[in-house]
Amino acid sequence: MNALIRDLVENKETEKIQKPNFDTRIGREFLAFYLKTKFKQIINYDKKAKKNLFLQVKADFMENFLDRLINNPKRKILISITGESASGKSTICSQIQKCIEKNNLPISIVNTDNYFNDISDLIKKYGTFDALRDAGYDVDSPLNFQLDLLRSDIEKLACGEDVKIPQYLVNGTGVSIPEAIEIKSKKIIVVEGMAATYKEVHDMFDIKIYIDLNNNTRKRRFLERAKVRNQDHENALKHWEYVCAAGKKYVMPAKENCDIIANGECNLEYFTQILEYINLITNNFCEV
């Protein structure tokens, strides 16, 4: 048992709770009360952490979320994770993926970067992706995403239907392959990327999470990532200027509408402990 769970859970709380009938409203109301109590417990614990995960939580978030669970229980839970470039979105989703594999969590992850339009013809015309960008092509504009398809796929997943989403190749060719990645409709659907902030899909999510991180750390991470990808320093700085401008224009306006502002510097081990505790409490029921 990790340190977080050891601190949060007393011996009596590890005993299984009799599972209510979630097909009834009173059973779902019991679940909502239980989850609300546990979430408050997590938030209070997190406030004592050296680098806490929760920077800000909307006052009405939990009430709205639990009301949705009570009144529309069959719909899958949709969670968006967004933030500016190099804020930690992909790192956090990679950690979620590890937890899925370790604990068999009922979570599917959709990366919205796969919904970029196919721009292979434009890249051929200009020679390279960087030349296309330097010519003024606004890569991160909502117009350059297949947002109608993204909304349709999310809706299908929410209703229990598996989908095949496109795959955008990140090798500089700008190629998008239709129906290339199969996504299973599991209990929780995590949708990651800046496109999750766009108005065409933003209203769909039950929980909207914004990863926040100061610009200095973001820039350091961005340049380190560029080096790993063998991108020359001068071009990396050019692209950094672009992503900063795009972030201010397209991503930051959505921050105030998100339910949770999360810390991009949160320790990944601590983040994993939070996930494992949430998994523990949501499975702390036994049949009669």
Q: What are the contacts of 9-15 at 24+ separation with CB within 8 A?
A: 9/277, 9/280, 13/284, 14/284
The predicted model scores a pTM of: 0.92
Per-residue pLDDT of the chain (288 residues; tens, 9 = 90+): 455 555 555 444 456 677 788 889 999 999 999 999 999 999 999 998 888 999 999 999 999 999 999 999 999 999 999 999 999 998 999 999 999 999 889 999 999 999 999 999 999 999 998 899 899 999 899 999 999 999 999 999 999 999 999 999 988 899 999 999 999 999 999 999 999 999 999 999 999 999 999 999 999 999 998 888 778 888 889 999 999 999 999 999 989 999 999 999 999 989 999 998 888 888 777 665
What pLDDT is stored for residue 11 in this prediction? 43
Task: Spell out the domain ranges in the chain.
Answer: 54-265
What pLDDT is stored for residue 12 in this prediction? 43
DSSP states of the chain as a string? --HHHHHH--GGGGSPEEPP-TTSHHHHHHHHHHHHHHHHHHHHHHTTSTT-SEEEE-TTHHHHHHHHHHH-TTSPEEEEEE-STTSSHHHHHHHHHHHHHHHT-SEEEEEGGGGBPP-HHHHHHHSSHHHHHHTT--TTSGGGB-HHHHHHHHHHHHTT--EEEEEE-TTTT--EEEEEEEE---SEEEEESGGGGSHHHHTT-SEEEEEE--HHHHHHHHHHHHHHTT--HHHHHHHHHHHHHHIIIIIGGGGGG-SEEEETT--HHHHHHHHHHHHHHHT-EE--
What pLDDT is stored for residue 117 in this prediction? 96
What pLDDT is stored for residue 69 in this prediction? 92
Fold classification of 54-265 (topology level): Rossmann fold (3.40.50)
Whole-angstrom distance, CA of residue 186 vs CA of residue 99? 15
Whole-angstrom distance, CA of residue 105 vs CA of residue 166? 24
- Cα angle value 211/216/220 (rounded, 5°): 90
